[in-house]
Structure 1
Amino acid sequence: MDVYLQDIMPSTLDLAGIDKPKYIEFNSLMKMARGKQKESPYSAIYGCYTKQQRMIRKDGFKLIAYPEAKKVLFYDLKKDPQEMNDLADEKEYQTKVKQLFIQLVKLQKEMDDELDLSGVYPELMQLSDIKHEWRYVQSGSIALNIDPDSINLSSNFLNLVGLTLDLTKGIARVIGSGKTQE
């Protein structure tokens, strides 16, 4: 289960019977320790070290970016918990690498991280290998036909650039004022 080291402090407060102050962003682990909660309170774990490294761990995968070296590592933690086999360049994992990278950039924004990974790795922000087709529907919106396997990646990317994906009436509509492709 993915948790942060900083969860120790609210856990200690919880054990002592003291309410967690509102400014503390981390969570007590006591419900999990007592078996009352089965899942992590976090959808993903974010890590950073100076300007040297950024990391996301989610859904049994881990992506590490080293921007100064322009290197990305990617691990399947279920199959490789010791992180011995980097899968970042394996063709079968490219969609998952891009999904995690886009989610990492989104977490950076949420954490007010000023390091611009999207500028270092523009190829991981592109959806060119994903089957998609853009066409204008009406002023201010676009319709997007997407391979069903790519819908999460496209949705995350669109949210990242300030657009919303509306999946109603069998068509995917992109709503917002972000940049568009044809």
Structure 2
Amino acid sequence: MQFIGDIRTDGVTAILQLGMNIVLFVPMGFFLARFFRLPSWVAVAVCCATSVCIEVAQLTGIFHLYPCAYRICDVDDVITNTLGGAVGVALGLWCNRAFPAPRINKTEVTMHPGFLRRCVSFAVDMGIVSMCQMLSIVLGRISGMEQSPLKAARSLCCSACGSCCSKALCHGVPMDAPSAASSPG
């Protein structure tokens, strides 16, 4: 219940943060209830589990990918995100009653697509994979991660809190020491 103290000290900013945490998960709850047709308790549980995973990622520095946590893990965020998911589930259930989905005629569904349809879907899939690969290469070059991931993670850590490289997270290796990726041979 830290958000009560935050509202007292930060005022409108804290209220906006709470509101945005709720709004963030409304679409997820809506889609789980409306399109995936999950039972309401399952949809709310999925929203809660997703929020817990996000908070654990914030606590552990993206599951120990980075040596230091870079965000604050907060139970209030889990509560407000789950509340947003529940609001989305309620909206999805209302839409299911107000605008029922049309029945699909099973005879019109293609169970055995032809060669051309399979080739087109393969080309689309490979295009998406190629774009993701190019994006990861560009982002890797921009961040400097393609040469030495360990050194880049250390520099991110040190810029965040200033003293992590002397701790066990970086195994006490000084910043100027060569990493395994940059050693010859």
TM class by shorter chain equals: under 0.3
TM-score, length-normalised on structure 1?
0.22
Q: Quick check: which has more Rg, 1 or 2? A: 2
Which structure is higher in helix share?
2
Q: Given the two structures, how large is their TM-score scaled by the length of structure 2?
A: 0.22
Report which structure shows greater RCO (CA 8 Å, sep ≥6).
Answer: 2
